[in-house]
Amino acid sequence: MQSFNPPVRTLMGPGPSDVHPRVLQAMARPTIGHLDPAFIGMMDETKTALQYAFKTENELTMPVSAPGSAGMETCFANLVEPGDKVLVCINGVFGNRMKENVTRLGGEAIIVEDKWGEAVSIDKVEATLKENSDIKIVAFVHAETSTGAMSDAEKLCAIAHQHDCITIVDTVTSLAGSELRVDEWGIDAIYSGTQKCLSAPPGISPISFSERAIHKLSNRKTPVTSWFLDLNLVMAYWGKGAKRAYHHTAPVNTLYGLHESLVMLTEEGLENTWGRHTQNHLDLKAGLTEMGIGFVVNEADRLPQLNTVWIPEGVDDATVRSQLLNEYNLEIGAGLGDLAGKVWRIGLMGFSARKENVTLCLAALKDVLK
Amino acid sequence: MQSFNPPVRTLMGPGPSDVHPRVLQAMARPTIGHLDPAFIGMMDETKTALQYAFKTENELTMPVSAPGSAGMETCFANLVEPGDKVLVCINGVFGNRMKENVTRLGGEAIIVEDKWGEAVSIDKVEATLKENSDIKIVAFVHAETSTGAMSDAEKLCAIAHQHDCITIVDTVTSLAGSELRVDEWGIDAIYSGTQKCLSAPPGISPISFSERAIHKLSNRKTPVTSWFLDLNLVMAYWGKGAKRAYHHTAPVNTLYGLHESLVMLTEEGLENTWGRHTQNHLDLKAGLTEMGIGFVVNEADRLPQLNTVWIPEGVDDATVRSQLLNEYNLEIGAGLGDLAGKVWRIGLMGFSARKENVTLCLAALKDVLK
């Protein structure tokens, strides 16, 4: 058994994205204790920077010590009680995963389904809420990583609130990549990942809970099934004040990485980061269009940071992706589910959203498709 | 907001332990995709090395993508069904946490309690199993991190099997620090952490399941409540073969760190690593005894890697620990629960189990207690 020296890739799949050397170097700083006063200070800065990234003043804003899937589960496990009716919007893989969460927790999932590659239909959600006055939660994916479609989180939250529902929103792929305003839009429980547009290494899931969400959590009749994800306990460690109670051992070095990526976000400015994603998307689109490669999602609902495109007819998916990986060290993403073999997912997330990446990707694709 | 540069500490608390520069450097290697063929190869090596560390041939041996608490929850969430009777041995904080897991999952916890600082009583476990023929699982902590007591895992497993029970064993602090033989002792489900005697950064939890445990998992009548921790799904990613299905995004760089720490374990040899922990413990004990500082746990049940000692009379706990941290950059651990303020927990785990650490700790304590 020998040390592992990974190949140096350009990561333009659906995540992880390229990690900046500053962030990688931060990961290698000396490990200190998770109750060290110096570490507590870094935790506070991380929480404040996450509030900035989410555009929220929610006190309960913090990184869960596990990947995005655990962030999703944190939201559902804390907010869904057995018997709760939850409207789940499904327009891709991650809506399906939300439904799995609801039913495993003993909730009842009321499904609003839309075609993969389309945004969630506001009208259908509204109609379903009118028909089912006992729905308590509306859950949807803001940016579907499996299709590249963006849904209108602001409108969906407004409708949910009109029907006295709280909202759970998946922003794994949207946070720091495109417009997202937790407080202004009225998102109640939100989760994301570090390995997409924040360009920190994978393994952490930023979350934020509004007062409304905390109210539902505080009034549960049953304990949260998961001890590890129970926010009543987690907040004793991540909460306010200098005194923190031990809950679990935080992933110290991964949090160094997240912290450094948030420093870089504040340096660039959130709106500038959104703009950079848009600009690189437009450049990529221009090049792909020239090559006759079309997008799965219509222009209005298209995510700049995740470009899902049709594989040209007669071209073999796996052959092209292998060639890009082996000859150009370039990773692009495969399709999932029904879209497998039919589409590629080209990510422009975080540090991957750079002119040189767009240029390399277009040139390499041109070579390989010749 | 500025980059975080942690102080350089010597970590002699209950974990995290000192991380070797080789492991820190591994964390900073370029991130690659979690489905990259190069990454899959590293995953296989990691699984094999964990089998070596656990002394098991269990096929289901892998690192859970979250800290030790999530490893604990993985074992309980997959194996305990509502109504299951589980014998839980409590002789410290982590036995209590096991009980929490059982009851939150709808199981019934039958408690065998022993004093903090003592090993689990074999006789009491046997008597309880005789009285309750419908107990299905026996759960106990091999090395109680809150007290420094080691229990006899081999005997406890033998008795459990005599009563047709499977065993869940917490080895967060024992793995790679003292003798542990999963197959020989008949441990059915085991979890550990990376930040103790493996000296990798925190955030990962190695687990292993025997055929007997997999049989119980495969015959569940209800789905596992947690989607994230459901081993039926996780194994599609961590299982055999070149083809891995996406489940969640693995913590790529933290796994680089774990891999490197396992390379170092194989270089030293597992038995040598156990021996190094014992030798450093004996040196520390000799020095502490000379200073009139006594151990909480009797000699036979004492963990070499976690030394829980009585704070000398008239000495203020917090003052001494602050002084050690601020003047010597030396972290030692506080007591938990009833032992808070009364004991210190001095860790000699992994890379922290070194002559220079023992020497520094003894000399600094001498200075401060003067």
Domains (ranges, CATH) in chain B? 10-15+269-369 (3.90.1150.10), 21-265 (3.40.640.10)
Burial degree of A112 (CB within 10 A; 0-12, 13-18, 19+): buried
Task: Kindly report, residue by residue over B67-84, the tens digit of the pLDDT.
Answer: 999 999 999 999 999 999
> How many C-beta atoms lie closer than 10 Å to residue A332's C-beta?
23
Cα B254 from chain centroid?
Answer: 17
Of A313, A315, A283, A281, nearest to A297 by C-alpha is A281
Check residue B257 and give its pLDDT: 98
User: Which pair of tokens denotes residue A172?
Assistant: 């794994």
C-alpha to C-alpha distance for A252 and B27, rounded to whole angstroms: 12
B242 pLDDT higher than 70: no
Beta carbons of A251 and B251 less than 8 Å apart: yes
In the predicted model, what is the mean pLDDT of chain A?
A: 97
- In A, minimum Cα distance to B40 occurs at A6
pLDDT at A243: 75
Instruction: Name the closest residue on chain A to residue B105, using Cα atoms.
Output: A225
Mean pLDDT in residue range B124-137: 98
Q: Rounded distance, CA A190 to CA A339, Å?
A: 27
Question: ipTM of the assembly?
Answer: 0.97
Place of tokens 């879209």: A339
Q: Is residue A54 within 8 Å of A210, Cβ to Cβ?
A: no
Q: Distance (Å) from the C-alpha of residue B131 to the closest C-alpha of chain A?
A: 29
Average pLDDT over residues A162-171: 98
Q: What is the pTM of this model?
A: 0.98
Contact (Cβ atoms closer than 8 angstroms) between residue A193 and residue A172 = yes
In this prediction, residues B201-214 reach a mean pLDDT of 97
Sequence-ordered list of residues with C-beta below 8 angstroms from that of B204, at least 6 positions apart, any chain? B63, B64, B65, B66, B67, B193, B194, B251, B254, B255, B258
Contact between chains at A32 and B9 (C-beta distance less than 8 A): yes
Section A218-223 average pLDDT? 96
User: Of the candidates B246, B365, B212, B260, which has an alpha carbon nearest to the alpha carbon of residue B21?
Assistant: B260
Whole-number pLDDT of residue A203: 97
Cβ contacts (< 8 Å) between A36 and chain B: which residues? 6-7, 9, 325, 331
Encode pLDDT of A48-106 as tens digits.
Answer: 999 999 999 999 999 999 999 999 999 999 999 999 999 999 999 999 999 999 999 99
Q: What is the pLDDT of residue A239?
A: 86
The single-letter DSSP state of residue B89 is E
Among B35, B226, B332, most A C-beta atoms within 10 A, so best to mutate, is: B226
Predicted pLDDT at B245: 86
Strands B135-141 and B166-170: parallel
What is the predicted pLDDT for the residue at B202? 96
Instruction: Indicate the pLDDT class of residue B243, thresholds 50, 70 and 90.
Output: confident
Which residue type is seen at A181? R
CB count, 10 Å around CB of A174?
29
Across the interface, whether the CB atoms of B31 and A49 are under 8 A apart is answered: no
